[in-house]
Structure formats: structure tokens, C-alpha cells
Structure 1
Amino acid sequence: MKVIPEINRKLAEARKRLGVDHHVMATLLGLGPEGAEKVKLWEHGKGGKITPTKQKAIEGLPIKIPYKDTCKKPAFRFIDLFAGIGGIRLPFQEAGGRCVFTAEIDKHSKITYAANFGEVPEKDGDITKFASSEIPRHDVLLAGFPCQAFSQAGKKQGFFDTRGTMFFEIQRILAMHHPKAFLLENVKQLKGHDKQRTLKTIMAILRGEASVEIPEDVHLSKEARASLGTKLNYDVDFEVLRARDFGVPQIRERIYIVGIRRDKDAPSNHVRIKEMFHRVNENYRSKVPLKDILIDDPERTLDFTISDKLWTGHKERKKRNRANGKGFGYSLFDHRSEYCSTMSARYYKDGSEILIDQSDLGRNPRKLLPEEARALQGFPEEFVIDQVGKPQLYKQFGNSVAVPVIRAIASEMLKEANIRTRKT
């Protein structure tokens, strides 16, 4: 009888403990879903020797999957498109919803998603590879669709950027499934992109007031192009909300678009969505000072202190920019600050937008700790953040939503759409 090495046994025990399948375990180990067969072989002492790197990954697997869906009778069903690490999903799952489909292509985000929800998307998470008929029936569509095409950091090409055309993948799914409600999230700059024409077009499409023609040389999936003329039937409006108004100490302005399906032959009533956002603003506001999320531990924060070279570079760059009439440069905060700047996906590079002052310790400023970045976006402490490296983690939180804002919208949106929740 073949003796199975201890590390192989640990792998099998960890998968059983976490209650995940071979595809999820392969993702957690950085093998990707295609590595499922390798995991199966390893569990039986086959497939070759496990490398030291993978041994370390096995040893570092989470103790449990904190947000694994174990609800036997979900109150409603939703899909999570361009899911990132699941910031939009969390509040809807809390409300009693079951996620029946996920799409996310970033391999590092999929690791964090798997560590927290015990699921990974199929077909590499590429939404363009799925026919709408392959997507399960759902009551709510959620999508933090790619923002680089509209953001200040991107080239701002809008629909004619490949990432911008992802909106039409959402449209084709809405046209096929007609869910009761949807929530879309994007950067604030979408509101003013192309002299506001881009947002006006999006709103007209979602409201069923217009269709759009996309040039043949712009890449779209066949189904998305075929559905361009399909009229939708939703009451829709948008609001720009600041995360700092909803219990997290960063500015983070984002645009949120909510649609509620109209009853058959009912007249349009977009005002009700505006009124819904008014309730969100009136009933869910709270303020949390920056000091409440900062960790006061000189030993713990030492490794996050920036170097003399980087600190000098930040100061010199800010001096040059001011001389040229520009406001770009580092931003310094401390325990007296009410809130900080918006954390971006590039935070891992130099931390310039949010540096924490440490002059009282005689040190250069420091970057946020991973736990602080998690709190800054309103994720709970149980949310697993140690399955990817720090650069990727900062990038993930910089790309994520502020969870308390989504929670506030979800509460009112589900009520407005008459969708049963765990509470009701």
C-alpha cells in the first residue's frame, strides 16, 4: 500500500475542512480552476512532488470559508458580474440572497473570492464566453462593470474601449432574463464622460427609450451585438454617493445606477428610483473618523514605513507640481483626520494618496496596513485577506466598492422591487 506524504494528506484534510471542490482548491493554490485534476492526484499521493511554494500555500490555507452560502432556502437569487473580491455580493447575501452566477477574470481576485465565498467562476470568469441562456434565472443583477474606460486614470474612450463595451454584456443579460432589479456601479467620471453623452446613452438604453449602434470594428460578443436593439423595461436613475457619508473614512465618490422592472404596460416612473436614493441618503448616513480604523502599534507598522528615497521623491514631486499649478502629489493624514483620500488600484505602487503621518515616532510616513485597507472599504474583520500578496491585496481593495454604501442601497432597492429578504 502506497504511503501518502504528509503534505498531501494535509491538502485533502484542508479541502474537507473548507468544504470546497477541487476547482476551488486549485484556485486557492494559484493553480487556477484548470488545476483541479492536479489537486485530485495530489490528494491520492500521485501527480508528482508538491513544490515548496505549493507546500507553503497549503500550510497557509484559511481555517474556514467565512461567507460560504449555507442557506437552504434563499429569499431571492442574484448574479455577481465583474465581481472583484465580492464587495457588492456581501450585502445581498446578508439579506438572504443566493449568488447563482459569478463572473470575474482577474486571477488574483478569484483567489480572494474563493477564500471568502468558496466559489470560483466558470470559463475563467469571462462573461463574453457565456450565452445568456447559460446564466441561471435570477431576481437581481449586480455589476461593478469595468471603469477604466471612463476614469481619470484611463484613456477615457468610453464605449469604444473594449472594457467600456462590457456594459452591453450587461444589457444582453437584462434583455434575456428581465430580472426584477439591477445595481450597476462605476466611477464618478462616468457622469461627465463625453460631455455627459455616455451616461445619457446608458440611461436611455436601460429605460428602454433608445438603442445604440456600435461600429463593426468595435469588439462585442455576437449575442451582445444582436441584442442592441432590444428595448428594456425598467425604471432607472442614478446617484453619486460618497463613502465617507456611510460609515467609512474615505471620500470615494462613485456613481450607482439602480433599475426596477416595471409591471407589464405600466407607465414609466423613474422618480421612484430618485426617491429611493433620497431614502438611502436620509436613513443610512453615519460618520466614522479615520482614527477608528488605524492600528496603533509601532512594531506592527514599522514594515509599512516608506523609505527615505521614496519620501524624498514624494516631496520633490509635490513641490514641482505646485510650481506648475498642479495639485498632484502625496496626501498625509493622521489620527486627527476626519477622513482620507480615495484609495485607488495603484496604491500598492507608492501609497501616495494615503500616507499616515508618523512624525511622533520620528519616522517617515507609512502606508496603510492590509487590515486598515480592509476596514477603509468597510469589509468585516472576518474577510480573508492573506491568500494573495500585499501588492495584489492593495490593488483589490483599491478597485473594490465601499461595502456600507452597497448595504444601504441594497436595503432600499430590495424593498422598492418587492423582493423578499431574510428579514421579511
Structure 2
Amino acid sequence: MVVSYTEIKNKYNLEIKKVTDNKLAYITHFLQNIGDNSAEYFRLEAEKYLSNNDFDFNNIKWNVPFPPTDNPTFKFIDLFAGIGGMRTAFQNLGGKCVFSSEWDLYAQKTYYENYGEVPFGDITEIDENSVPEHDVLVAGFPCQAFSIAGRRGGFEDTRGTLFFDVARIIRAKRPRAIFLENVKGLVNHDKGKTLEVILNTLRNDLGYYVPEPKIINAVNFGVPQNRERIFIVGFSLETGINEFNYPTPNPNDLRFIDIREENPVSVKYYLSTQYLETLRNHKARHEEKGNGFGYAIIPDDGIASAIVVGGMGRERNLVIDNRLTNFTPVTNIKGEVNREGIRKMTPREWARLQGFQDEFNIVVSDAQAYKQFGNSVAVPAVQATASVLINNLIGMGVV
């Protein structure tokens, strides 16, 4: 008898309480992998909390926006998962995620709401041997400098950094391919030494074919946002793959107006007259000194700058939305709303700038949502590159 995941959640009270508790990670990973040998990696812990007498776990209706893939072509793991941007791209290509890890509690909640799976927490505490076998390792790892003084800059030099945790899982599980994502600044980070260590580790210590990394701009792959990120792909030598061509840029005509909220948005997103004046004065002072300043007004037919978190991140892409300009004086918590209709983009608009479908549920505060989408990836750019990677694996008959 088919049972909905909502019924299971309600029966066992499967709600996230704290990020340090991996109980829900074991349970949800087990349930999502039933019918596959990956489930055995989680069964022992999961069955401490579940009773097979209650439901037939072989017939779960995953009533979440993005359920696990049926009849997958390949398996992948999602490290430093955030809210699942990389997962979405690889699932769209027919992949099945068999393991995920993300330490931020609010990102875990968003991930759970949309995929029905709670990621495991701190990756530094994960035993690499507890990770299921997989075809592709996916990771958007943080950028950290390495100390390579007196050594060649390889696997040993990554210890103490989060890249080490990626490397030790690669070493233990030998996935057929890897897909890593990072900020454009990785190229020059620590005068290029950081990228040097990463590539040396992957190529020489771990024995992977790794072509030169590529900086990909999301604006060329289906979203109206200039967002450059570095992608690093690699293949185990056992695959026989020794060449790789990154996808050809394919610009389109999408502009801000194409991703704007359909209905007038809440007055809370509009800048107050006082705050707008402060912004303009601040910008004028910086321009007099020859300094850059983050805020800009994106026209309806314009392309957004990369959405970022922290500082003036939400003011980097202001827009003019006149749909609320025919009001009598309206105030929000910051004062009277400006009559020009200048406002911040909404979390949903940020989601669309990153290529997330509208079915993607936003279940956190605006502050957390901006942080999550700003830290995520442009899904179409990842998917375009991942498609080439998967086609290479399929072409060689290794998935």
C-alpha cells in the first residue's frame, strides 16, 4: 500500500531540531535509497527509529517538490550541498543523489522541504567509508588557502582545509567523475597557490584526468545574471576519458522583466525616501574618491549583477517597479516609501536569477533566503556543464 511521505513525517515527528543531530539524515537517506544497495549504509541507524510494521517503506509517495529520481542513469553525492542547486542540476539529468552533506541548519531545512532529505552535518566528522558508492562526486566547497612551504603541494598539504574532506572521500570511494564549483577568485587565491594544490592533488595524488578549469558565466546559460564561477571537472583514469570540452556559451534574451514577480510585491521591499537618499549620498562620496560602490538600479531590460550576501548585497540589484507608485503616502518599517518605485529584488526573484523553478519552496525568513540563494549556484550553468560530463561517461559505457 502506497504511503505518502507526509504520513511518515507525521508518524515519526520527522522535523529538524538541530544541525548536530544526524538522526533525520540517517532516516531520510535510508528511505530515499530503499531498493538500492545504498540504503544499507543507513539502515542500522535508521531502523532504531522506524518500525516496518507501521508502513510499507517500499511504496513511498514522495510528495515533495523534487523527489528522488526513479530509474536513475547514475548516482552522485552532494557535498557542501547548500539548498541543493547542484542536486537539482544533476537530478534533471537523470541522476540519483545517494548522499548529501550540509552543516547550516537553515539550509538543511530548505533542502529537506524541497527534496525530502536531510543532509548530514559537518563534513569533517563524516567517515568517508560511510559514504555509499557513487559515480559522480559533486561539491561546491569553500575557498581556503593551503600551506605548501617546503612541499610539493599535494594531498598532505590539504589537511586542515575543507578540500581535504573532499579529497579523502575521492580517495576512498574512487568515483568515476568529479564536479567541483567555486568562486572566480579561486584562480588568484593566495597568488594561485590554492588552485595549484587542488589540481596537483586531483591529478597527481588521486590520479584523475582534470582538464584546465573553466570560468563559466551564468548569463550565457539561461539566466539574466552576470555570475562567473569556476568549474573543475575530473575523470578517473579507469574511465578512459582523457579529453573534455566545456559547453559552448549560449546567450539568450532573458532580462530582469522576464523573472520579475508577476504581481505587485509587498511594500516592505521598497526603499524608504530617507534610506534611498542615504544610499545616493553614500554612492556620491565614494565616486568622488574614485571608489566603487555596490548599488545599481537594473532596468527592466537589464541584466543583474551577481547576487551576493552580506554588506550591501541586497542593494546591489535595485529595480524600479512602478506598480505601487499610485498610492497615497505609504510607510514601511523604515519610513515613507519612495515615490520613484525603487525596491530590492525579492527572494523569489533571486531564486529565478539562479534558475530555481517556482515550485522550489522558500521556507525561511527573507534574510536567510537571500543568504541561501546568494550562496547557491546558477542551476542552468551547472546543468549545461554536467550534461557534457555525464554524456562523456555514457559514451564510454561507464554509467
- Shorter-chain TM range is 0.7 to 0.9
Aligned position for 1:297: 263
Q: SS of the counterpart of 1:196? A: helix
Aligned position for 2:272: 307
Pairwise CA distance, 1:33: 7.4
Q: SS of the counterpart of 1:281? A: coil
Pairwise CA distance, 1:291: 1.0
- Please give the alpha-carbon distance, in whole angstroms, between the structure 2 residues aligned to 1:89 and 1:261: 21
- Please give the alpha-carbon distance, in whole angstroms, between the structure 1 residues aligned to 2:353 and 2:375: 12
Return the TM-score normalized by structure 2. Answer: 0.76
Residues 369-415 of structure 1, C-alpha deviations (whole Å, 9 max, x = no match): 22211111000111111x11110001000000000001101110101
Give ranges in structure 1 of 5+ residues lacking alignment.
1-13, 38-62, 150-157, 209-229
Q: In the alignment, is the contact (CA less than 8 A) between 1:18 and 1:64 conserved in 2?
A: no
Pairwise CA distance, 1:102: 0.6
- Give the one of 93, 98, 101 matched to 1:100: 98
Residues 94-118 of structure 1, C-alpha deviations (whole Å, 9 max, x = no match): 2221111111000000000000000
Return the TM-score normalized by structure 1. Answer: 0.72
Q: Equivalences for 1:243-254 in 2 at 5 Å?
A: 243-254=218-229
Aligned-residue Cα RMSD (Å) equals 3.0
Bigger drift between 323-332 and 83-92 goes to: 323-332
- The one-letter code of the counterpart of 2:84 is G
- Please give the alpha-carbon distance, in whole angstroms, between the structure 1 residues aligned to 2:254 and 2:81: 26
Report the identity percentage: 37
Q: SS of the counterpart of 1:186? A: strand
Aligned position for 1:81: 79
Q: In the alignment, is the contact (CA less than 8 A) between 1:247 and 1:404 conserved in 2?
A: yes
- Please give the alpha-carbon distance, in whole angstroms, between the structure 1 residues aligned to 2:21 and 2:364: 19
- Please give the alpha-carbon distance, in whole angstroms, between the structure 2 residues aligned to 1:350 and 1:191: 23
Pairwise CA distance, 1:70: 5.2
- The one-letter code of the counterpart of 1:395 is K
- The one-letter code of the counterpart of 1:356 is V
Aligned position for 2:186: 190
Q: In the alignment, is the contact (CA less than 8 A) between 2:207 and 2:237 conserved in 1?
A: no
Pairwise CA distance, 1:336: 2.6
- The one-letter code of the counterpart of 2:356 is F
Structure 1 residues 70 and 330: CA distance shift in structure 2, 3 A:
closer
- Please give the alpha-carbon distance, in whole angstroms, between the structure 2 residues aligned to 1:307 and 1:420: 59
Aligned position for 1:57: none
Matched, 1:318 2:269: no
Give ranges in structure 2 of 5+ residues lacking alignment.
25-61, 148-157, 326-338
Q: Equivalences for 1:393-408 in 2 at 5 Å?
A: 393-408=369-384
- The one-letter code of the counterpart of 1:243 is A
- The one-letter code of the counterpart of 2:263 is D
Residues 284-307 of structure 1, C-alpha deviations (whole Å, 9 max, x = no match): 543411110012534x24221022
Pairwise CA distance, 1:196: 1.9
Residues 323-378 of structure 1, C-alpha deviations (whole Å, 9 max, x = no match): 111111311112131x011100227x662211112468333511112221111100
Q: SS of the counterpart of 2:212? A: strand
Matched, 1:202 2:198: yes
Q: Equivalences for 1:34-113 in 2 at 5 Å?
A: 34=21, 64-69=63-68, 71=70, 73-113=71-111
Residues 48-95 of structure 1, C-alpha deviations (whole Å, 9 max, x = no match): xxxxxxxxxxxxxxx941112151x32211100000000001121122
Aligned position for 1:174: 170
Matched, 1:343 2:329: no
Structure 1 residues 36 and 416: CA distance shift in structure 2, 3 A:
closer
